[in-house]
Copies of this chain bind each other. A is one copy, B any other.
Amino acid sequence: MSGADVDPDDRGSEDVGEAAERAPTHDRDDADAEELTLVEAVRDGLAAEMLRNDRVVVLGEDVAENGGVFRTTDGLLEAFGSDRVIDTPLAESGIVGAAIGLATHGLRPVAEVQFSGFVYPAFDQLVSHAARLRTRTRGDLTCPLVVRAPYGGGIRAPEHHSESPEAFFVHQPGLKVVVPSTPRDAKGLLAGAVRDPDPVIVLEPKRMYRATNERVPAEPYAVDLGEAAVRREGTELSVFTYGATVESTLIAADDLDADVEVVDLRSLSPLDRETIAASVRKTGRAAVVHEAPRTAGVGAEIAATIQEEALLYQEAPVERITGFDTPVPLGEAEDYHIPAALRVREGLREAVEF
């Protein structure tokens, strides 16, 4: 008997009945892709996975009646009802702890943390439990949990609303961490996370929520976790980035007088070390861009990996272009903290000219 009395890979009833009709973004022609913003793509992804598998439930603060403070869950309550889209008390450890209980017993909870800066009360539940249930029980019990949170700065938010905590989770064995940068990946990675048999943290770049549109397929699809995407091919420099800084990196790459390869990591845990190594072996130079603080950030892991896998190809040190080792400043000052295109370009130039 499985711990949850259910086959964890069973998708539940495919006969979703009326819910399909009511699903918020499914009133478009299913055969067609549609231009969606990232926030719409998250919503579309949630609706698609909820239609596909009736075990998927969404819970968190203000996700139901209010549709989420960023509207990522807008319309889900109406489509799927109050047993699948649930407003909780204001208590992140309670939310994640309860979601672990749901996950262990056969549901596929997608818990929202309103801003990634408020995930810390749930840190213990994530690192001490979600990450370890499989190990502790030798695979007998599992925790297919998704925790979603908007991360990063750039929207002139108050304190604690602009955090980039991904490195904390990347360091914890047993967790997976993904960060979409485009609407298409926002839907696909979310689906990958929901279908993954292990706990996955999905950090959504909130300043990209409404920044661009992209054609997003209407049907459900999943991006495999652990696979980076090369966004721009190049031969002289490899840049590794993810989430909110992909855009400024692409601008910087265009701006620079060198043939730059831009790799969107997408999955930070597991990390696509093969793609990283192959790219640097080709170009001989590398940089990494993220907005989290530099010290012991994901950039450190990438630099360490590169020199392990490709030292003999390295013509220059891996340049780290990151948020600084300070709390994220408020107001306009955040624009100096988050690597903007010019700062990225100058960093890339150093890597090229070293």
Residues facing B in A143-171 (CB within 8 A) are 159-160, 167-168, 170-171
Decide if A128 touches B160 in the complex (CB within 8 Å).
yes
**Is there an interface contact between A327 and B173, defined as CB atoms closer than 8 Å?**
yes
A171 x B304 contact (CB < 8 A):
no
CB of A332, distance to nearest CB on chain B (Å)? 17
Binds B, one of A20-28, A101-109, A242-250, A316-324: A316-324
What residues of chain B lie closer than 8 Å to A303, measured between beta carbons? 300, 303-304, 307-308
Interface-centre pick from A159, A269, A296 (highest chain B CB count, 10 A): A296
27 A–B contacts, CB within 8 A, in A order:
A117-B128, A121-B124, A123-B123, A135-B326, A167-B171, A170-B295, A171-B293, A171-B297, A173-B293, A173-B324, A173-B325, A173-B326, A174-B326, A269-B295, A295-B301, A296-B300, A296-B301, A300-B300, A300-B301, A303-B304, A303-B307, A307-B314, A307-B317, A307-B318, A308-B318, A308-B320, A311-B314
Q: Do B327 and A131 touch (CB < 8 A)?
A: yes
Extra contacts, 18 of them, besides A167-B171, A303-B303 (Cβ < 8 A), are: A120-B123, A120-B124, A121-B124, A123-B124, A135-B326, A136-B159, A168-B168, A170-B295, A174-B326, A296-B298, A296-B301, A303-B308, A304-B318, A306-B307, A307-B317, A307-B318, A308-B317, A311-B314
Residues of B within 8 A of A123 (CB): 120, 123-124
The reply on A127 being an interface residue by CB < 8 A is: yes
Q: Which residues of B contact A67 (CB under 8 A)?
A: none
| A292-B174 Cα distance, complex, nearest whole Å | 14
Q: How far apart sit A167 and B293, CA to CA, in the bound complex (Å)?
A: 13
Task: Identify A317's interface contact among B135, B295, B297, B311, CB under 8 A.
Answer: B311
A271 at the interface (CB under 8 A from B): yes
Assess whether B171 is in contact with A295, with CB atoms less than 8 Å apart.
Answer: yes
Residue A205 at the B interface, CB < 8 A?
A: no
The distance from the CB of A133 to the nearest CB of chain B, in whole angstroms, is 10
Q: Which of A292, A304, A307, A326 has the most CB of B within 10 A?
A: A304
* Nearest CB in chain B to that of A93: its residue: B121
Nearest to A288 among chain B residues (CB) is B304
A316, B316: Cα distance in complex, Å: 14
Q: Give per-residue flags for A276-312: 1 if the beta carbon is below 8 A from chain B beta carbons, else 0.
A: 0000000000000000110111111101101110010
Report if A132 contacts B (CB, 8 A): yes
Task: Tell me the bound Cα distance from A172 to B300 in angstroms.
Answer: 14
A171–B136 contact, CB under 8 A?
no
Q: A84-104 CB contact bits vs B (8 Å, 1 = yes)?
A: 000000000100000000000
Q: In the complex, what residues of B have CB within 8 A of residue A320's CB?
A: 304, 308
